Amino acid sequence: MECTNLTHLYIKKVFIQRDYRKGTKIRFETTMPSELENYISQAEFARFIESLNDIYFDAEKLKFCEGCMACLTAYLLYCCIETHKQKCMRKAAEFIENQNEIWKDRGVTVFDPMTRGFRILEIQVQSNSRPQ
């Protein structure tokens, strides 16, 4: 956890680690950090993480037709269309953006894990009081 002071506004950075218990597919831990308890409920956090994990799980699924068409066109198909994985990554980014709009009033901001190579999910919490 890091803290930054910007004119009496304190920012806590909370990191959610990858969950490797079910393999190397993109999946984040569903255990809610104690730093978020005063800002979002356990149910909201669990629903958010599970929805994000579901989107990333869908992105990892192989699409037979897409693969065959790419092979038949010497992979030139990928110059013309957006892949299933790209669509899912865009969907995840939009989902995070929408969640940020909902949590904005509480001072909670979630950052797209793609910017950190899917190693961690960063959540920043703004508050007026100095964290313990």
pLDDT at 5: 52
Query: Is 105 within a domain?
Result: yes
pLDDT at 19: 93
Domain containing 48 equals 2-127
pLDDT at 90: 97
**C-alpha distances in Å from residue 124, one per residue of 24, 86, 95, 112:** 26, 26, 17, 12
Using the predicted structure, report yes or no on whether residue 20 has a pLDDT greater than 80: yes
Using the predicted structure, report yes or no on whether residue 2 has a pLDDT greater than 60: no
Query: Is 52 within a domain?
Result: yes
Looking at the 3D structure of the chain, how many domains does it have? 1
By DSSP bridging, strand 120-127 and strand 2-6 are unpaired
Using the predicted structure, report yes or no on whether residue 73 has a pLDDT greater than 60: yes
pLDDT at 64: 83
Query: Is 33 within a domain?
Result: yes
Mean pLDDT over residues 7-16, rounded?
Answer: 85
Query: Is 132 within a domain?
Result: no
Look at 16-30, 61-75, 89-103 and tell me which has the smallest mean pLDDT: 61-75
pLDDT at 72: 86
